[in-house]
Amino acid sequence: MLEKINALLAETEHFFAKTKDELEEFRIKMLSKKGEISNLFVEFKNVPNELKKEVGQTLNVLKNKAQEKIEHLRIALENDEVQADLDLSLTSYPSNLGTRHPLSHMRNEIIEVFTRLGFVISEGPEIEDDWHVFSALNFPAEHPARDMQDTFFIEKNPDIMLRTHTSSVQVRVMDNQKPPIRTISPGRVFRNEAISARAHCIFHQIEGLYIDKDVSFADLKQTLLYFAKEIFGAETKIRLRPSYFPFTEPSAEMDISCSLCGGKGCNVCKHTGWLEILGCGMVDPNVLESNGIDSKVYTGFAFGMGIERMTMLKYGIKDLRRFFENDVRFLKQF
């Protein structure tokens, strides 16, 4: 029996299969229920006791060698099939590489401009409490933004919600850092709005905050003028219109001259020559005091913009929903 085992060991060692069929025949011969190795295990009970140890060990070696050989040849044959399907004459170009999402492009452009001005990036949680989203920003209890139709509350808890703006991050910065503060807060925000070509329940914002001694509205204007020229071109003009925000006083909305018509008027700018891009203003003293900053010593300005709107204006996109549909035909353009 020992001679038969050694003969099968030699056969296994020298076996080579050119096809999967040959390999399968060898597997059936060696490892099937009626194969050579199974028959040897049946005959093993007739081996004299003094030889059982040596024969048993050699038989196990044969079984392991056969299994390893079959697995090795199986992998080799599969690799040969893969190689046969490759056309090594093909050039590596053009290759379909992925690209950044247009919102990521715009976000990075905006961040790059403000970091050159010394702003640092701050981030915070998307699930927030009432203090960071509303109360610390001078929102009265009866303000419409607190209404359920604007805010997503967590499990009907009026104190826990999805943030409606990234100003909540600025509150956290003011809580943990003393002036001077110069930060921008990019991130995703949520509002309970009907989805349409110009609105969505999920969108992205970048908000900025600068607090120091002797900060004026002129500093705000020059900062935003520089930003507009860097993003939309050196010929871009801006105008500031009076507005109202609970956390800034005075407040303004900023328009840029329409780059499509050169300010002459077109369908995109509704024939006004101007396009609204962001809101801004001087930080309300109540907001500074609520966050432990002495409003008699420090002043500051804040601004906020929607990344989707900026992207739509720069690239002439008319439907906001395209940013969330993952249509490859649309995304390939960027």
pLDDT by position in tens, the chain (length 334): 777 877 888 888 888 888 888 888 888 888 888 888 888 877 877 878 887 788 778 878 888 888 888 888 888 877 776 555 666 676 666 666 777 899 999 999 999 999 999 999 999 999 999 899 999 998 888 877 677 558 888 877 778 989 999 999 999 999 999 999 999 999 999 988 888 877 888 999 999 999 999 999 999 999 999 999 999 889 899 999 999 999 999 999 999 988 777 677 777 677 888 888 999 999 999 999 999 999 999 999 999 999 998 888 888 888 888 898 888 888 888 7
Same-domain check for residues 114 and 239: yes
| Residue 55 belongs to some domain of the structure | yes
Domain boundary among 36, 54, 85: 85
Same-domain check for residues 280 and 318: yes
Q: How many domains does the chain have?
A: 2
Tokens of 161: 């919600």
Same-domain check for residues 54 and 111: no
Same-domain check for residues 74 and 137: no
Same-domain check for residues 237 and 271: yes
Same-domain check for residues 118 and 54: no
Q: Which pLDDT belongs to residue 297?
A: 96
Same-domain check for residues 69 and 138: no
| Residue 93 belongs to some domain of the structure | no
Same-domain check for residues 8 and 45: yes
How crowded is residue 119: how many other Cβ atoms within 10 Å of its Cβ? Answer: 20
Q: Got the DSSP string for 209-272? A: EEEETT--HHHHHHHHHHHHHHHH-TT--EEEEEEEETTEEEEEEEEEE-TTTTTS--TTTTTS
| Residue 92 belongs to some domain of the structure | no
Domain boundary among 85, 120, 151: 85
Whether the full predicted model's pTM is greater than 0.75, yes or no, is no
| Residue 97 belongs to some domain of the structure | no
Domain boundary among 57, 85, 113: 85
Q: Which pLDDT belongs to residue 81?
A: 63
Same-domain check for residues 180 and 313: yes
Q: Which pLDDT belongs to residue 95?
A: 65
In SS3 terms, 100-138 reads as CCHHHHHHHHHHHHHHHCCCEECCCCCEEEHHHHCHHHC
Same-domain check for residues 41 and 139: no
Q: Which pLDDT belongs to residue 112?
A: 95
Buried b (16+ CB within 10 A) or exposed e, 37-47: beebeeeeeeb
| Residue 302 belongs to some domain of the structure | yes
Same-domain check for residues 75 and 127: no
Q: Which pLDDT belongs to residue 93?
A: 66
Nearest-angstrom CA–CA distance, 304 and 209 = 9
Same-domain check for residues 80 and 148: no
| Residue 90 belongs to some domain of the structure | no
Write the CATH number for 131: 3.30.930.10
**Token match 């002797």: residue?**
214
Instruction: Look up the domain containing 161 and give its range.
Output: 102-331
130 residue type, one letter: D
